[in-house]
């Protein structure tokens, strides 16, 4: 291999790594604008504490300026984030960063609506569902990633499945998350009757969101799949048959975090934890 080829490959890797780091962390930098996506508003508190005084409730889609980020990553409402010191033209205080988005949430919802409608328009035309932007919700976000929920075909008139999808903001626009590697995760618009649930988590220690994906329908579970980030190229890490992801408990990065799955066979809960040193998912006894 020539020296020029080696240098070229190294440059590509450096650029890729830099863009990945930026994409993962862009919404937790100081001195930049973010937006509230909590549909019922977000509590502004006097201190970075869930029990601190509530100064007021910030409405949906309100633009805020970041002043400071607490270094500790926490979990509230099954969302990962950090306490964030923000301000607007009226006052400043602390909010949970798990409800902050890098763009106006309506921009993301409009993009999802347009993409889904263009692909599933025949399905919605023959369905009793009146598909609109009101049917779309933002489930969670971290960095430049967002999980957005839209309706599927449904099994009966008036019923529809719920499908989660992964979106990535490239600094200009939101797009479906696509991984160029063969074994990586690639998001596709679906009209499936199955429910598809995606959880955005920090399972390993690289601060890039990982995915747990469960598909289920009619009381039966197809499986759950775990995709771990590897230089932002999410690789399939583990498949768990007959298990649906339920919830997690959080301590800190690669701490004794528990991931709870429910069995479709007997409704029993199985607890797993991820060990960073061995890169293994272990059953918690």
User: Residue 5 above 80 pLDDT?
Assistant: no
User: What's the average model confidence in pLDDT over 180-193?
Assistant: 73
User: Residue 127 above 60 pLDDT?
Assistant: yes
End-to-end CA separation in angstroms for the chain:
50
Residue 59 carries which DSSP code?
P
Give dist(CA 40, CA 56) in Å, integer.
12
The pLDDT, as a whole number, for residue 272 is 95
Query: Among 166-180, 187-201, 219-233, which stretch is predicted with the lowest mean pLDDT?
Result: 219-233
* Residue 151 neighbours by CB distance under 10 Å: 20
188: exposed, middle or buried (Cβ count in 10 Å: 0-12, 13-18, 19+): exposed
Per-residue pLDDT tens over the stretch 75-84:
999 999 999 9
- Tell which CATH classification among 2.30.30.40, 2.30.30.60, 3.30.360.10, 2.40.160.20 matches the domain 28-101: 2.30.30.40
The pLDDT, as a whole number, for residue 46 is 97
Going by pLDDT thresholds of 50, 70 and 90, the confidence category of residue 230 is: confident
User: Residue 158 above 80 pLDDT?
Assistant: no
Biggest alpha carbon distance in the chain?
64
Query: Among 97-101, 104-108, 212-216, which stretch is predicted with the lowest mean pLDDT?
Result: 212-216
Give dist(CA 110, CA 105) in Å, integer.
9
3-state secondary structure of 278: coil
Which residues of the chain does CATH 2.30.30.40 include? 28-101
3-state secondary structure of 112: helix
């Amino acid at each position: 291999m020539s020296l020029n080829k080696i240098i070229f490959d190294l440059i590509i890797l450096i650029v890729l790594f830099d863009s990945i780091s930026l994409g993962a962390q862009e919404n937790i930098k100081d001195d930049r604008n973010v937006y509230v996506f909590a549909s019922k508003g977000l509590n502004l508190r006097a201190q970075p504490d869930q029990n601190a005084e509530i100064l007021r409730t910030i409405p949906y889609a309100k633009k805020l300026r970041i002043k400071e980020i607490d270094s500790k990553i926490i979990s509230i409402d099954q969302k990962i984030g950090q306490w964030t010191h923000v301000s607007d033209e009226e006052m400043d205080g602390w909010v949970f960063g798990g409800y902050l988005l890098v763009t106006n949430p309506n921009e993301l919802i409009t993009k999802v609506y347009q993409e889904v409608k263009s692909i599933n328009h025949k399905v919605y035309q023959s369905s009793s569902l009146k598909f609109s932007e009101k049917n779309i919700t933002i489930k969670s976000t971290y960095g430049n990633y967002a999980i957005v929920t839209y309706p599927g075909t449904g099994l009966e008139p008036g019923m529809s499945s719920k499908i989660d999808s992964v979106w990535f903001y490239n600094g200009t626009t939101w797009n479906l998350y696509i991984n160029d590697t063969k074994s990586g995760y690639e998001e596709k618009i679906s009209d499936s009757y199955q429910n598809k649930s995606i959880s955005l988590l920090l399972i390993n220690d690289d601060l890039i969101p990982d995915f747990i994906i469960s598909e289920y329908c009619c009381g039966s579970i197809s499986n759950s799949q775990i995709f771990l980030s590897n230089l932002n190229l999410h690789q399939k890490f583990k498949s768990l048959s007959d298990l649906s992801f339920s919830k997690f408990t959080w301590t800190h990065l690669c701490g004794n975090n528990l991931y709870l799955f429910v069995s479709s066979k007997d409704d029993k809960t199985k607890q797993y934890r991820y060990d960073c040193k061995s890169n293994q998912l272990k059953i918690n006894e």
